[in-house]
A = this chain, B = another copy of it.
Amino acid sequence: MDPLDAAMKKCGADAFVHYATGEDADMRYLTRFVMHDSFVFFKRRRQPGTIIVPQMEAERASRESTAAVMTRTQAGLPDITKKEKDPWKATAQMIAGQAGKTLLVSPELPAALLRALEEHGRVIVDAGTVGQVRAKKSPEEIRLMQEVQKKTEHAMALGISLISHATVRKGILYHNGAPLTSELVRVAMHKQLMDEGCRAVETIISCAGDTAFPHIIGSGPLKPHAPIVIDMFPRDEATGYYADMTRTVSKGKPGSQISEMYEAVREAQKIGISHIKAGVTGAEAHNAVVDYFKSRGYESDTRGFIHNLGHGVGLQVHEIPTVGPAGAVLEAGHVVTVEPGLYYSGVGGVRLEDMGAVRAGKFADFTQYEETLIV
């Protein structure tokens, strides 16, 4: 049975309702339609889904959406708004008229719409059925994500090549006579991704002391003999799927602490990967890495390994499953990252991140790009 039908049957709902923009991952999964204003999706039991959109989007929606298309006028909104001036209440009245009295709604439905729908009947908040279905990728989705991963590796190669071909003067890197900055590397990588139909934002190109903070994106001239963390998560513009990968490099030999951290992180990634397979929990894989770091003298609390081993990737860059202390059982078709890292204020940070699919007996790594510290 369709998972949404099953969830509706279980709680006796007439229909499932979601409300979001097409940038919302669940909405994109349910409709494959992107719109910059919020719109309604509903699916009555054993029937296909329908979206309710403004007149001006109707033609495009019927070309692009996998759901049936109804205009707000067809759904009666103009008559409703003659009497009901509160937009949430008007939307709720329109939904109740189309979808039914007992509704299963997505966990992210806006609170104001939930309260307005409660005036029309019983509303059950779903536990996240769409997110769970989304987490298990089809072979076609995996193919699309492998493609994004490949383009991501092309951009990584460009970024690392700019660093490895840089010249060094007075403690900073130079490219074509100008300082090679985090911003310059980022823009070069983003432009190449754009040529390949992908959009990247806030790619991390952090250097030296900044690398001790995993999500500082970095700015200014890059330095030699210091870790440079490159963490990127581009999205295919057409399909909406993300890739996610990280490499750490150093132009010239870094300090011995960084080299030792790098070796430990590389080994930790192998250990993480060896644990990830269907039936194992995300917590088990994470804890195996924590144990390994401990054996090498690295903590996992406010410094050392301070984040989860990984996370699901798909139409969101961070989605379920969790590969961390709270991680549940991994299933075949989940696509996750494996990204151990070590962070010490005053020393720096190292992170290595691959993305791949959970399989019956193994982790099928999509990421082929080499792991070499000194470039």
Residues of A within 8 A of B (CB): 34-37, 54-57, 59-60, 63, 81, 87-88, 105-115, 125, 187, 190-191, 194-195, 199, 201-202, 213-216, 237, 302, 306-307, 317-318, 326, 343
Provide the residues of chain B in CB contact with A306, threshold 8 Å: 55-56
* Contact present for A60 and B111 (CB under 8 Å): no
Q: How far is the CA of A35 from the CA of B115 in the complex (A)?
A: 28
Provide the residues of chain B in CB contact with A302, threshold 8 Å: 55
Provide the residues of chain B in CB contact with A201, threshold 8 Å: 199, 237
* Contact present for B60 and A215 (CB under 8 Å): yes
Complex copy number for this chain: 2
* Contact present for B125 and A112 (CB under 8 Å): yes
* Contact present for A195 and B199 (CB under 8 Å): no
Provide the residues of chain B in CB contact with A55, threshold 8 Å: 302, 306-307
Q: List 30 A-B contacts (CB under 8 A).
A: A34-B202, A35-B215, A36-B317, A55-B307, A59-B213, A59-B216, A60-B213, A60-B216, A63-B216, A81-B326, A105-B111, A106-B111, A107-B110, A107-B111, A107-B112, A108-B110, A108-B111, A108-B112, A109-B110, A109-B111, A110-B110, A110-B111, A111-B111, A112-B125, A114-B114, A115-B125, A187-B195, A199-B199, A199-B201, A202-B237
